[in-house]
Amino acid sequence: MSDNKAKLDINGTVHDYPVLKGSVGPDVVDIRKLYGQTGAFTFDPGYKSTASCESGLTYIDGEEGVLLHRGYPIGQLAENSSFMEVSYLLLNGELPQQQELDDFSYTITRHTMLHDQLRQFYQGFRRDAHPMAIMCGVVGALSAFYHDSTDISDPEHRKISSHRLIAKMPTIAAWAYKYSVGQPFLQPQNDLSYTGNFLRMTFGVPAEEYELHPAVEQAMDRIFILHADHEQNASTSTVRLAGSSGANPFACVAAGIACLWGPAHGGANEAALNMLKEIGTPDRIPHYIERAKDKNDPFRLMGFGHRVYKNYDPRAAVMQKTVREVFDALNVKDPVFETALALEEIALNDDYFREKKLFPNVDFYSGIILSAIGFPTTMFTALFALARTVGWVAQWNEMISDPGQVIGRPRQLYTGPTERDYLSMDKR
Ligand code: ACO
C-alpha cells in the first residue's frame, strides 16, 4: 500500500483514487469507489489494464520473461522440484518438509479412484468425442458424486474437494483417452508416482505390465509443473468468476476446462503442432511468415505471442530443452522439431515479430514432446487441464478464503437502442 493517489478529472471535477503497491510489479489504481463517486465505469474489454483480484500465488513479469510461483522461479521449480511439490507449494504457500510432501502425495494418491458409477458417464459420449468434451462433462458431474465436499464455507470441505480434483484429473483424462481408442479403463495403481500413474493409465493395457520410461515420466512431470498455474489467465479468471457466485469447485473447474479449450488459450499447442506439420519443411517457412504478417490473412503463427509475455516465455525455454531430453532418451528424430527450431530462428530475426515482441510461448514446443511421448493432438489440452487444475483450485481457495470476497459482476458500455415502445407484428 502507499499514500500515492491517482487523480481523475471527469467533467471538470477531480477525484482521487488510492494507488496500491504489490510486493513487486506494477502499481494498481484502486477504482472501486469510482462508480459510486462519479457514476462512471471504466472500459477495458480484454482486461489488458485490469487487476481483477489480489493474489499471492503467481507473479509474471511479461517484459522480463519472469514467472514465479510463491516467489520461486519456474525454471528452478522445473529443474529441481516435482509436480506434487509444486502443487503443495501453490496450495499452501511454502515448500513442504519431506514429511509434509509424503503426506500430501499419500493423500492425493488415495483420492485417484473415480466413483464406479462415473464409468457410465463415459459410455454416454460418442466414441470420437474430443477428450475436452468428456473432461468438461465428467468433471462437472463430480459435483453430483461428492456432496460431502461441496460446502464451500467449510475449509475442510474446500481442502478435500481440492485434493479430489487434483487426484482424479489424471484418471479422468486417461479414461477420456482410453474411451477414444476403445481400450479398457485401467484403475490407478498406488505404488506409482502421480505422473507415472497417469502414464500407465493412459498407455498401459491389462494384458501386460506397463514399463515406465524414467525420462518420459520426468518430462511429463516437468510439463505438468510448467502448466500448473499462470496468474489470472482466461480459464483461471473463469474459475474465479464461477466460484464468486458460491458455485461448488467441481462445477467451477468444469467451467475452467471449457474456457481452456479455446485455440487462443489451451488449444494453442494442438494448433501449433498442426501448423508445424502443415509447414512441413524449413524451405516453406518464409511463405508462412509472410502469411502471418499479412493483415488480410487470418493466419497467425500458433505458439507465438502472448498477452502478458513480451519477451521469451520462460516456460518455452524449459520446454525446448525437454524436447531434446525426450528425443535423446527415446532415440527419436522428428523433422517437425527441426522445422520448429528454424521457424523460431527466422521469426525472432524478423522485424515484424521483433517490433510486436512476439516470442514462442509454452505451446510452441509442448506439442512436439507430447506427440513424441505418444499422445494424439486431441489430448494436448486435456493434459493442460490436468496440470492447471492445481492452479485453478489454489486460486479458487484463495478467493473463497478472503472474507471480503464478493460476486464478480462487471458492467458494460451500452451501445444498443435506447428505450422504445414495443410494436405489434402488423406495425413492424
Ligand atoms: N502471429 C502473427 N501475428 C501475431 C501473433 C501471431 N501468433 N500474435 C499476435 N500477433 C500480432 C497481431 O496481429 C497484432 O498486430 P497489430 O497490432 O498489427 O494488429 C499484434 O500482434 C498484437 O496481437 P493481439 O492479438 O492484439 O495480442 P493479444 O495480447 O490480444 O493476443 C494471443 C495474444 C491471443 C496469444 C496472440 O498472440 C495469438 O493469437 N497467438 C497465437 C495463439 C497462441 O499461441 N496462443 C497461446 C497463448 S499461451 C497460452 O494460452 C498457454
Residue 307 Cα, ligand 1 centroid: separation in angstroms? Answer: 7
Residue 234 Cα, ligand 1 centroid: separation in angstroms? Answer: 14
Q: Ligand 1 pocket test: pick from 300, 352, 357, 380 the residue with the most ligand atoms within 8 Å of its Cβ.
A: 300
For the chain, the average pLDDT equals 94
Cell numbers 499514500 correspond to 3
Which atom in ligand 1 lies closest to the alpha carbon of residue 308? 29
pLDDT band at 307 (very low <50, low <70, confident <90, very high): confident
* Protein residue whose Cα sits closest to atom 10 of ligand 1: 305
* Protein residue whose Cα sits closest to atom 26 of ligand 1: 307
Residue 71 Cα, ligand 1 centroid: separation in angstroms? Answer: 27
Residue 120 Cα, ligand 1 centroid: separation in angstroms? Answer: 40
Residue 268 Cα, ligand 1 centroid: separation in angstroms? Answer: 11
Domain 5-51 belongs to what topology? Rubrerythrin, domain 2 (2.20.28)
Q: What are phi and psi of 217, to 5 degrees?
A: -60, -45
Closest CA to 79 of 325, 303, 308: 325
* Protein residue whose Cα sits closest to atom 39 of ligand 1: 264
What is the rounded distance in angstroms from the CA atom of residue 207 to the CA atom of residue 5? 69
* Per-residue pLDDT, 13: 94
* Protein residue whose Cα sits closest to atom 34 of ligand 1: 264
Closest CA to 253 of 125, 104, 362, 152: 152
* Per-residue pLDDT, 101: 98
Domains 5-51 and 78-403 share a fold: no
**Mean pLDDT along residues 319-343:** 89
Query: Residue 308: is its pLDDT beyond 60?
Result: yes
The CATH classification of domain 78-403, taken from the options 1.10.580.10, 3.30.160.150, 1.10.3130.10, 3.90.550.10: 1.10.580.10
In sequence order, what are the beta bridge partners of 59? 68
Q: In this predicted model, what pLDDT tens digit does every residue of 154-171 receive, in sequence order? A: 999 999 999 999 999 999
- Is the distance from CB of 162 to CB of 252 less than 8 angstroms? no
* Per-residue pLDDT, 312: 86
> Higher-confidence residue: 367 or 176?
176
Which atom in ligand 1 lies closest to the alpha carbon of residue 233? 50
* Per-residue pLDDT, 97: 98
Q: Give me the helix-helix angle, 234-244 and 249-260, nearest 10°.
A: 150
* Per-residue pLDDT, 173: 98
Q: Please classify residue 165 by burial: count the beta carbons closer than 10 Å to its beta carbon, then call 0-12 exposed, 13-18 middle and 19+ buried.
A: buried
pLDDT band at 266 (very low <50, low <70, confident <90, very high): confident
Share of the chain above pLDDT 70, in %: 100
pLDDT band at 397 (very low <50, low <70, confident <90, very high): very high
Q: Which residues line ligand 1 (CB under 6 A)?
A: 264-265, 268, 292, 300-307, 356, 358, 361-363
Which among 221, 306, 334, 426 is annotated as catalytic?
306
C-alpha angle 81-86-87 in degrees, rounded to nearest 5 = 145
* pTM for the full predicted model: 0.91
Q: For strand 66-69 and strand 72-73, is the pairing parallel, antiparallel, or unpaired?
A: antiparallel
pLDDT band at 332 (very low <50, low <70, confident <90, very high): confident
What is the rounded distance in angstroms from the CA atom of residue 255 to the CA atom of residue 26? 29
Which among 363, 402, 421, 426 is annotated as catalytic?
363
Closest CA to 109 of 80, 147, 146, 83: 83
* Per-residue pLDDT, 264: 81
What is the rounded distance in angstroms from the CA atom of residue 138 to the CA atom of residue 287? 42
Query: Residue 32: is its pLDDT beyond 60?
Result: yes
Q: In this predicted model, what pLDDT tens digit does every residue of 188-241 receive, in sequence order? A: 999 999 999 999 999 999 999 999 999 999 999 999 999 999 999 999 999 999
Pull the grid cell for residue 231. 496468474
Closest CA to 81 of 67, 64, 101: 101
Q: Ligand 1 pocket test: pick from 273, 294, 306, 352 the residue with the most ligand atoms within 8 Å of its Cβ.
A: 306
What is the rounded distance in angstroms from the CA atom of residue 255 to the CA atom of residue 250? 9
Query: Residue 94: is its pLDDT beyond 80?
Result: yes
Share of the chain above pLDDT 90, in %: 84
- Is the distance from CB of 4 to CB of 19 less than 8 angstroms? yes
- 306 is a catalytic site residue: yes
pLDDT band at 271 (very low <50, low <70, confident <90, very high): confident
Which atom in ligand 1 lies closest to the alpha carbon of residue 356? 21
> DSSP for 152-202?
TT-HHHHHHHHHHHHHHHHHHHHHHHHHHHTPPPPPP-TTS-HHHHHHHHH
Sorted by where each begins, the domain ranges of the chain are 5-51, 78-403
Residue 3 Cα, ligand 1 centroid: separation in angstroms? Answer: 37
* Protein residue whose Cα sits closest to atom 2 of ligand 1: 300
* Per-residue pLDDT, 2: 54
- 130 is a catalytic site residue: no
> DSSP for 238-261?
HHHHHHHTT--HHHHHHHHHHHHT
- Is the distance from CB of 1 to CB of 19 less than 8 angstroms? no
Query: Residue 153: is its pLDDT beyond 70?
Result: yes
C-alpha angle 21-26-47 in degrees, rounded to nearest 5 = 115
- Whole-angstrom CA distances from 60 to 63, 72, 98, 343 are 9, 11, 28, 26
Positive or negative, the Cα torsion across 365, 366, 368, 369?
positive
Q: Ligand 1 pocket test: pick from 291, 307, 357, 392 the residue with the most ligand atoms within 8 Å of its Cβ.
A: 307
**Mean pLDDT along residues 370-399:** 95
